[in-house]
Amino acid sequence: METNQQPESEEVKLRQQLEEFLRYARVLEEVTRAPANLPRVKEALRPVVPLHESFLPGSILTTLFRNPKTGRTVSFKREELAELDGMTSDYLLNYYQSQSLFTPDDAARLRNSIEAHARRLYQLQRNSDWRAQVFSYEADKEKAILHSLLQLRLLIECAQILTPPLQTVKRIGDEEFDLIDDLHGLVRLLTLALWQRLATDGSELQAYGALSLCIAGLAAKADDALALLESGYAAANGDEAAFAKWFEKGGRKAMERVETMLQPADKHGLDEIFSLFTRHTLDLGLQPVTIEFVRQNLQTLVTTLANMDREMSDASRRRSTIISTQFTEVSRQYAVDFTARAADPGVSEEDLNAILKELDVLVGLEPVKAEVHRAADFARMQVMRRQQGLPVVQTSLHSVFFGNPGTGKTTVARLMGRIYKSLGLLRRGHVVECDRGRLVAEYVGQTAVRTHAVIDSALDGILFIDEAYSLAGRGAEDFGSEAIETLLKRMEDDRDRLIVIVAGYNDPMKQFIASNPGLESRFTNYLNFPDYRPEELLEIFHRMAAQSGLVCVPETEKKVLAICASLHAGRNAQFGNAREMRNLFEAAVRNQSTRLVASGQCDRDALTTLLPEDLPAEFESGMPAPPEIKPASSRIAPRPG
């Protein structure tokens, strides 16, 4: 038996790093929150003149819009983006609402958010000349920092409004992450880490002034943002000498507290934080041009914070160059990852009803179709409950497919992957097919690695294990049990990213499920695929011929039906069903070729017609018997009685 420790999955490492960074962000949010007794300016805010310019560029706002059919963000050509930048937010919202890309309520929320952020920037610049004098920086730098931070906050808010609620939550292992809240937290951590590494080399007053700008730009509420930025001015009533005393008394301590809270993050590169930010935006499906916009705003922060003192030191120049290069590489890699995800082997976006129609036109399988429809209906209701804030009924989607070969198990598994993707339960919806050979290695220490690799390839889709019973029942020293234990753990750790379907002959599969209590508890959906009836086998043969441009004369169909009836009457546990029809069809095509070459008649009608004599005189099942397996003794206590 293998005893090597299983390798830690990439998902576990990601979860741990994300939890660490978000913990830092929460601590920073706590220490930078506006206290109730914070001095506030009693001067009434000046009325804000209606703003005609767009606070968020049109090329960025529109890339957050989603196709209502696919749920994906809308992409534009480079020349189209330039045109969009010349259009106002109001015009774009009105136009794309008329195209049904979002609801009137969403349009109103977007408009209110855009106007609120533009208004906040205008209001925060009150008393900016006084701050520029006290902190010895240029007023334009204050506006640059506030504008960049408010644009980032607005971008995340707009993404929240336009993204389906189900897509804003991600489970990694046992933890569930709110992507929107996390993006705000990671921006907070990035901004304050930039401040610490770039803006604290000069005077303490200047560092405090830069910190005040960052905290105000990050504040969730407009009133708190204004209070945080103007607290020094309010405490000193605009007197510089009084402010200096106030800073010595409390301002310096507040700044030192932020620096202390940032110390644990010093061991991490800022590109690590930005990379986690982009991992979340990739899950939200944001376009590369949107992330490049984020990078440009971060670059503005880098340049401004490093140059608050008018003369950038060599150390600050060196640090800012390194950080800028790292951010550029993260943005470049995001474009690569986004393109790869868009082109991955996952199924294309499609409508649930269209997929179910494909299921319904399959030959036979009526009990299976009914079960799949029920599963789809249940999944659809869970999605609707979650979108409306109702508790979701936790249930397993893992399944066991019983049945002989050729009964459509793999076909149905692929349809289920597409169904679950269309509902948003799986991101890719692809099916990875495997058997014992892909999971179990020959040497100690290799099975867990091999099994993890196969499971990783199936994440966000379905892992389909054919003849799964071959993993169990081969003795205590067989490595198949190690594959089962690895599979069970990953089914739990990645339960929101992985659906497992095991398939095989009826009796061996029952023994397999009974061989391990973990299997019986995780596989709760059972679908029995019955053998096809003779009439259904005839229809399968007929469709195979039609797909190859061949037609069967009535006499041919009668002979095919007779063969099917004979096969069905003499079938056993290894009956091949549709595979028998494939073998029969291929034999008929070979015989047709021999007949046509011998006769010399190769006109169009002859090439497209199957005659009765093309069918083999004697056709027997060509399916091999399943491999003999040692019956597995159940580890589950027998039921009483």
- Domain ranges across the chain: 18-32+46-341, 352-529, 534-614
pLDDT at 639 over 70: no
DSSP E strand stretches across 16-87: none
What is the mean pLDDT of the segment spanning 217-224? 90
Rg (CA), the chain: 33
pLDDT at 473 over 70: no
Instruction: Give the pLDDT of residue 48.
Output: 53
What is the mean pLDDT of the segment spanning 302-326? 87
Q: Which residues contact 38 (CB under 8 A, 6 or more apart)?
A: 227, 228, 231
Q: Is CATH 2.60.34.10 the classification given to domain 534-614?
A: no
pLDDT at 537 over 80: yes
Instruction: Give the pLDDT of residue 5.
Output: 44
What is the mean pLDDT of the segment spanning 159-176? 81
What is the mean pLDDT of the segment spanning 559-587? 88
Instruction: Give the pLDDT of residue 211.
Output: 93
- Measure Cα distances from 10 to 2, 51, 72, 82, 601 in Å: 22, 47, 26, 39, 63
pLDDT at 24 over 80: yes
Token reading at 605 = 């009608």
Instruction: Give the pLDDT of residue 223.
Output: 86
Give the DSSP letter string of 430-442.
Answer: -EEEE-HHHH--S
Instruction: Give the pLDDT of residue 483.
Output: 86
Query: Angle, nearest 10°, between helix axes 480-493 and 447-458?
Result: 40
What is the mean pLDDT of the segment spanning 64-88? 82
Residue that is written with structure tokens 């590494």 in the block: 197
Query: Given strand 399-403, what is the order of strands in its sheet?
Result: 431-434, 461-466, 498-504, 399-403, 525-529
What topology is assigned to 352-529 in CATH?
Answer: Rossmann fold (3.40.50)
- Whether 187 and 270 have beta carbons less than 8 Å apart is answered as no
Task: Report helix, strand or coil for 528.
Answer: strand
Return the higher-pLDDT residue of 349 and 196: 196
What is the mean pLDDT of the segment spanning 626-634? 43
Return the higher-pLDDT residue of 29 and 299: 299
- Whether 262 and 196 have beta carbons less than 8 Å apart is answered as yes
What is the mean pLDDT of the segment spanning 82-97? 88
What is the mean pLDDT of the segment spanning 326-330? 95
Rounded to whole angstroms, the Cα distance separating 440 from 471 reads 8
Which of these, 75, 96, 88, lies nearest to 161 by C-alpha position? 96
**Mean predicted lDDT score pLDDT of the chain:** 84
Token reading at 17 = 């790093």
DSSP state of 459: T
Which pLDDT band, with edges at 50, 70 and 90, does 388 fall under? Answer: low
Return the higher-pLDDT residue of 554 and 72: 554
DSSP state of 607: H
Q: Beta-carbon neighbour count of residue 513 at 10 Å?
A: 22
Q: Beta-carbon neighbour count of residue 373 at 10 Å?
A: 14
pLDDT at 637 over 50: no
How confident is the model over 34-75, as pLDDT tens digits?
A: 777 677 777 665 555 444 457 899 999 999 998 876 678 888
**Residue 48 backbone phi and psi in degrees, to 5:** -90, 125
Return the higher-pLDDT residue of 53 and 225: 225
Return the higher-pLDDT residue of 172 and 51: 172
Which pLDDT band, with edges at 50, 70 and 90, does 173 fall under? Answer: low
Which of these, 84, 130, 556, lies nearest to 93 by C-alpha position? 84
pLDDT at 213 over 90: yes
Instruction: Give the pLDDT of residue 631.
Output: 42
What is the mean pLDDT of the segment spanning 135-140? 89
Instruction: Give the pLDDT of residue 386.
Output: 66
How confident is the model over 402-446, as pLDDT tens digits?
A: 888 888 899 999 999 988 888 777 888 889 998 888 888 777 678
pLDDT at 463 over 80: yes
Return the higher-pLDDT residue of 615 and 7: 615
pLDDT at 1 over 90: no
Percentage of residues in the chain having pLDDT higher than 90? 31
Can you list the pairs that 587-590 forms with residues at least 24 positions away whose Cβ atoms lie under 8 Å? Answer: 587/615, 587/616, 587/619, 588/614, 588/615, 588/616, 589/548, 589/550, 589/614
What is the mean pLDDT of the segment spanning 436-460? 84
Task: Report helix, strand or coil for 480.
Answer: helix
Token reading at 105 = 């309520």
- Whether 546 and 370 have beta carbons less than 8 Å apart is answered as no
**Residue 132 backbone phi and psi in degrees, to 5:** -60, -35
Percentage of residues in the chain having pLDDT higher than 70? 89
Worst-scoring range by mean pLDDT, 143-157, 159-173, 206-220? 159-173
Return the higher-pLDDT residue of 388 and 370: 370
What is the mean pLDDT of the segment spanning 600-622? 81
